[in-house]
Amino acid sequence: MFNLFKKKDAEKAPDPWSVQANAARRSSSCEPFAKFETMGQTLIATITETSLSGPDAIALVEEIGGRLLEQDDEVIPGVKGERHLVLDLQNVEYMDSACIGAVVDLFGKLRQRSGQIALANAGRNVEYLFRLTQLDRIFPICKDVMKAIEAVERAG
């Protein structure tokens, strides 16, 4: 018989230190969080991680932001340089609020330079999260990278 009030096994509960353990694993690893490609004024970041949470999410966005914003002094809207961002989320299965907050923060910095962010290849769970938080009104969610590039260039 199924019991709704039965306690879950302790083994099945998530480890509260898993985020810190994962961050320590990543800091000792040389693997990048994303692979980068440029098309015109758009930086395409294909995320290589399947789960983005806590320190990993913040490190990823800092890596992307560093690449985009390092040229800040040289980039003027209308001049060559990367000012838009397409996040290719084909590998991402999970994203937490820390990652979403970091992406929103990066968006604010890009908007100061007339830049735009679009999401491409988002899985059902990730797309649902952006729709639930109504961030799909800010970040276009596209089925593929080419449509996302068109969306950011049209908006910017």
Beta carbons within 8 Å of 64's beta carbon, 6+ residues apart: 34, 43, 45, 85, 87, 106
Query: Could you tell me if 129 and 98 are in contact, meaning their C-beta atoms sit under 8 angstroms apart?
Result: no
Q: Is the pTM of this model over 0.85?
A: no
Query: Could you tell me if 156 and 45 are in contact, meaning their C-beta atoms sit under 8 angstroms apart?
Result: no
Q: What is the pLDDT of residues 61-109, one digit of tens each?
A: 888 888 887 765 554 444 457 889 999 999 999 999 889 999 999 999 8
Domain locations along the chain: 32-72+79-155
Number of other CB atoms surrounding residue 118 within 10 Å: 25
Q: Which CATH architecture has domain 32-72+79-155?
A: 2-Layer Sandwich (3.30)
Beta pairing class for 51-52 and 34-39:
unpaired
